[in-house]
Amino acid sequence: MIHRLQRIVQEVNRARDIDSALVLITESLTQDLNAQACSIFLAKENEPGVMILQASNGLNPAIIGNVERKLGQGLIGTIAARAEAMNLIDAPKHKKFLLVPDSGEVDFPIMLGVPIIAHREVLGVISVQRAKNAFNEDEEAFLTTLAAQLATSIERAESKGRVSIEASTHTIKGVAGAPGMAIGVAMVLNRGVNLESVPDKKTDDIDGELKSFRAAVSKVCEELTEQAEKMRASLPEEECALFLAYAQMLTGGSLIDDTEKGISNGNWAPSSWRDTIEQHAYVFTQMEDRYLAERANDIRDLGLRVLRKLMLEQSIYLDFPEQTILVGDDVTATDLADVPLDCLSGIVSAHGSSSSHVAILAHALGIPAVMGVPNLPVKQLDGVNLIVDGYSGSAFINPDKSILAEYNQYLKEEEAIEQDLLVIKNQPAVTTDQHKVSLMVNSGLMSDHTPSLRSGAEGVGLYRTEIPFQIRDRFPSEEEQYLIYRNVLETFKGMPVVLRTLDVGGDKPLSYFPISEANPFLGWRGVRITLDHPEIFVTQVRAMIRANVGINNLEILLPMITGKGELEESLVLIKRVLAEIEEEVGEKITLPKIGAMIEVPSAVYQIEDICALVDFVSIGTNDLTQYLLAVDRNNENVAELYSSLHPAVLKAMCQIVEGAEASDTPVSVCGELAGDPLGVMALLGMGIDSLSMSVGSLLRAKKVIMSFSHAELTELLQQALALPDAFTIREMYAGKLEERGLGGFLRAGK
C-alpha cells in the first residue's frame, strides 16, 4: 500500500498543472482499486460551498465540468458537508443520491467517497465506483490515506496551474510578516540547497548556459575522481567505485544529453538540469525492486552536486531589478544579505511566520513581508510582477491595471501618513493624561544607527549582537567586537544602549558552529550555549565592558534565562571580567546595569527571584508567546495560532509586571509586540512605560501613545483580559484605533 501511495503522490507532484494531476489520480485509482469509475469534485474558487466535477475516468467524459454540487446536496455534497467517508453497496437507493443523466453511473452502484481536506477546509471529494464487490476496509483506508496526502499536492498543482496558465491576477495568502506595501518584480534565489525550488527561467544566451553547465559538470567529475582516489586507502574497491560510477554518468549519456536539449529549447541550465534529474529519479522510484528504487537517491545526490556548482557559476550573472521582491521556499537572513538594500522592496516566503528571524529583520529594515504562503509556486515566480501587502499577508501575482492603480494610491497614502508623523518626531511620547513613555529602538546593524537617531529614539533597547556573528565564517575576535560595540555606544552617547549577549540557536544558526537538534527552540540556545562555552561569553563581555569605558551608557541583557542558577553563573563571569579589566587599566570601572530577558514561562513564575538579582527585566514577547502557546513561530501550519495578544500571554505579562513592582525593578518590552500599534495599547494598559521596537515602528507607536489617555488604556486592558481569544482582543483594540483615525496603521490605505 505504501508503495502505491508514494507512487501516486509523486506522480501528482510532478504534474505540470491541476488538470494533469487530476487525470493521473483518476487513472491510477481506477487501476489500483479495481474500480470501473473514479471522479474528483473540487471546490469552486469564487463560489464558497460549491464543488464542480473536474475529472472523471470511466464515466461519460461529457459531464466533466458540467456537474455541480452544493454542500449537503447529493452524495458528494453530503460527504463534503460531513467531512467523512461514505461506503455504499447500493448508492442509487440512498436518500441523498442524485442521478447525473447520461453519466453511466447507474451501471456502478457500489460507491466509496472520501473528502479531501487541508487546514480544516474541504477542498473536494474523491469517489470510486464499481459494479460488484463492496469496497473493503483496506480499500477505504487506502483511499482515505491517499486523500489526506493528496490535499497538499492538489493545492500545489492548483497554484502552479494558475500562475503558469492564467495571465490575469492571482492572489496568494500567507501571514503578515512585516507591515507595508511594495510593487516590484519577483526574484527567486537558489543556493543549490535543493532541486525542487530551482526557478523556471528562459534564456536567450544558449551558448552561455551550455558553457556554465559543462563547466559545472566538469568540476564535479574532477572532484568525484579525486574522492575515489583518496578513499582507496581506507575503503574497499567496490565502495570507491560508487564515486567513479557517478563521474561516469557525467561524461555523457542521457543525463547530459537531455539537459543540453532543454537548454537548447531556451531554458536556463539549472531548470533544465532539475527537470532531467527529476525525470531520471522518477524512473527508478517506479521500479518494484527495492534496491533499484533506492538508486533514485543516488541520482538526486548527483543532481545536487552539480546544481551547487552550477549556481555558483550563475551567481556572478545575477542582476537585481530596481524593485526586487525576494521570493523563496524559505527565505533566510543570508538571502537578504545577497540583495542590495537599495533594490530590496519586499519578501514572500513559503515558510516562516510573523515572528521568524527573517520577518523580524524585514521589519527592522522597513521591508514588507508575507510569510508562510501555502503551496507557493516558487518555480513559476521568477521575473513575475508582484504586489506585496504586508498588512494583510497577501500578495498579487501578475496584478492587473486596476489592482496596480489601487496599490499605487495606497502607497501615496502611506507616504502621506509617514510625512504627517514627522511632525511629532521631536515631541515626547506622552499620553493625553501626561503619562510619559520611553521609546527606544531594536538594532543590530550599523546601518540602523543614523535612522534610529533621526527617528527621535531615546536609546537602544535591544542590540542583537548575534548579527555580527552570523555574517562571518568564524567567531569574531574580542577586538572586532570591541570596535562594533564602541561604535554603537558612542553613536548613542548619553542614552542607554542595551547589548544582548549572544543569542544563537533556534532559527539563528551559525554556519561555523552547527547545532543539530530535533527541537532547536527547546534546545541549546541563548545563554545555555554561552554558559557551556564560557570562552565565547567572556570574550564578548570583555569587548562590551572595554567599549563602555569613558562612555558609561552600556546595559547588558542576558537571553533565554530560565531561572536563578543561570543568572548567578552569568553574574559571576561578568564580575570576574570587570575585575580583570580594572586590573589591566589600573582604575575603577562601573559595573553596567544587568538585565534578564523574560521569554520562558519558568521565568514568569520566578519573576520576583530574578528581579532580586538584576537591575531590569525585558520581556521578549516573540519567544514568550511561542512557549506559552506551544506554537513554533517558524511553522506556517500553525501561524494563525500565534498571537501575542492571546489572553494567556497578556495575563503572563501582567504577572511579570506585578512581580517586578515588588522590588521596584524596571520592566521594558523588546519583542515585536512593542512595535505593534495594538500591542502598544495593551502594554501601556499593564503599566509598562519602556518599549523598544524597529525604527520604522517608532513614530507610529508614539502617535498611538499620544492619542489615548493612560487611564483609558488601563480600562481597555481589563476588557481585553475578559475576552476569550486573541481574535476578539485584536478586533476590540483595532476598533478603538479606527475611532482615533489611525486605522491606516493596520492596513493598506488611510
Residue numbers annotated as active site = 357, 670
Q: How far does CA 160 lie from the centroid of its chain?
A: 20
* Alpha helices (H) along 286-432: 290-293, 295-315, 333-338, 357-365, 378-381, 401-421
452 Cβ contact list (under 8 Å, min separation 6): 441, 443, 460, 492, 695
Alpha-carbon gap, residue 231 to 228, rounded angstroms: 5
CA dist 636 and 354 (Å) reads 9
Q: Which of 74, 69, 40, 43 is nearest to 54 (CA)?
A: 40
- Displacement of CA 35 from its chain's centroid (Å): 42
d(CA 1, CA 137): 13
Decide: 113 and 127 in contact? Cβ < 8 Å: yes
Residue 664, classified by CB atoms within 10 Å of its CB into exposed (0-12), middle (13-18) or buried (19+), is exposed
Say which residue the cell 499577508 belongs to: 393
Is residue 8 within 8 A of residue 25, CB to CB? The reply is: yes
8 Å CB contact between 489 and 465: no
Name the amino acid, one letter, at 692. S
d(CA 547, CA 707): 39
- Per DSSP, which regions of 91-216 are E strands? 110-118, 121-130, 170-173, 175-178, 181-188
Burial of residue 684 (CB within 10 Å: 0-12, 13-18, 19+) is: buried
The answer to whether 160 and 138 have CB atoms below 8 angstroms apart is no
Distance CA 340, CA 189 (A): 13
Beta strands in 131-251 (DSSP E): 170-173, 175-178, 181-188
- Sign of torsion, CA 470 475 479 482? positive
- The dihedrals phi and psi of 72, each to the nearest 5 degrees, come to 90, -10
Residue 227 · residue 367 · CB < 8 Å: no
**Which pairs from 444-448 meet CB under 8 Å and 24+ separation?**
444/364, 445/364, 446/484, 446/487, 447/341, 448/364, 448/695
Phi, psi of 329 (to 5 degrees): -60, -45
Return d(Cα 349, Cα 175) in angstroms, integer: 10
Between CA 747 and CA 703 the distance in angstroms is 16
State the sign of the Cα–Cα–Cα–Cα dihedral 687, 448, 560, 675. Answer: positive
Q: What is the number of residues in the chain? A: 750
Other residues' Cβ atoms within 10 Å of the Cβ of residue 568: 10
Distance of alpha carbon 271 from alpha carbon 195, whole angstroms: 9
Contact 659, 611 (CB under 8 A): yes
Torsion angle of the four alpha carbons 41, 44, 47, 52, in this order, in degrees rounded to the nearest 10? -40
